[in-house]
Chains A and B, each alone.
Chain A
């Protein structure tokens, strides 16, 4: 589905990503790990369309991926991805309203009732049916992320991008969220890209793990070379030794 050929991303003189080659099939769940500033979030932005590559190709079904966000690629950020001025229910209905309303985001009559029923069903599946009328600021961090996930899935995108979605949550709540996201991935046959700084999360959740790291270093100009994919591992058949190797590599950051 997605084909990446010799992809580079530079900001001025600073290289962030270099020589990335990969192929992703429909339905894969890829977790992206790496030290902070290694470009994994930048890679996600390229997939999302808010940033464009400097060189190389990023193809979706053989065509260049659209250069601005659209409804086929859902996103959940670590924070700020729900609308604070709308209730939980309206946040989810907004997706339908945007997609169907022509000029304004208003839905009326039958279409409004349908959107409401759809939103209620989706919110039920993420366990938020008891807070339909609450505003986001009244929710806990975990509930807000559930809402963001529900909102991202209303329009049934093919690709779901997750940018450290559980980074700010307590470990106990993270477990619940992992279960939720795995269920939704199975049900909706999504292709998922998830950035995380938690290596365990990366191994537990994905079908495939990418590690981003710099392999070339110039001590005179640390910004001259970008990161690339140093490990591309099908998860589930991982040897203990490789896990430890990557874990050691990331440890200084994970401890921060």
Chain B
């Protein structure tokens, strides 16, 4: 009876013997045990993700690889993390293809949830991607998950609201400072119009340029400590400014009302959002003009822009590891990057594609210029904290940012968050 409640295959064994030989052997052993019927039916790979467009990539792969079927399991963004935790944590064989948020590569790698892929991606293949993303996909020297998408952030603004308030907007190549943003937001806020908002106002992904732009780190060098970091003067200054947006100056809305809806209904003058907004705004048939500008920075500070997105890894307990690796190779290739980009929803991680976007004459001015700006922002990309405790780190910071936004005292809130993160990271320091 005990066997019913324990997972058959220990994934750790596979990980320890990392090389291809071991994986091949395991796959072969599975082939034998899963009996002769498998020969007739297509190999089935499960892929859990949050984006409907994934079907298109799965279909493209299946056309090129007859005999392999990729089953896309769609869940919401937040559920991807929960499902991964439970399924991979209990040693299940699905999903075969694991969606990993860039900063979680370390966490999944430490737990042995991903097959090392060093031997399956040549140096030339890895050179195709933006450098920062190759780093994100690597943990302790093992390349675990290639990037399939990328992200960046730009400033979008409503031209009509700027005109109405008599404020001159930034030019297409003009990078505003956060100080300028606050000053303009104060002038733009009136009646039921808000001056400014972040797309994801309580996530470290979106907010880390605030302390980083002042030269502060977001985590200790070993990735296992935040002592003195989150309570540093830079962090306090950055988040006092952030708090002022919502409380002191009241130029940004509290709550979780969709920025897309606020912006298209002309209730929001400026928003910092990802490149997926370009298509969403172009498709919205708006009665006003909008433009984009580079991501803001602090006066005399560093230029730091959020980056990264999903990577793909392979579950060591998958029954068809080799086929799964082949799929991951395809989904992260330049060919697939072009397909993703053509949907208008995802941003490619491959440098040649970014160059193409910049060189496309349609992207020289007007709303299309936003694509060029987004592609150019890659050079300022700063990846998120590299720590096996990223989930804890992010969750605790999210609560802290939300509290600050709702008016909590900045110093106290950050100090409490620092303590709590430090406490949760303890388990990795001991491991």
State yes or no: do A and B come from one complex.
no
Instruction: Spell out A's residues near B (CB within 8 Å).
Output: none
Interface of B with A (CB < 8 Å)?
none
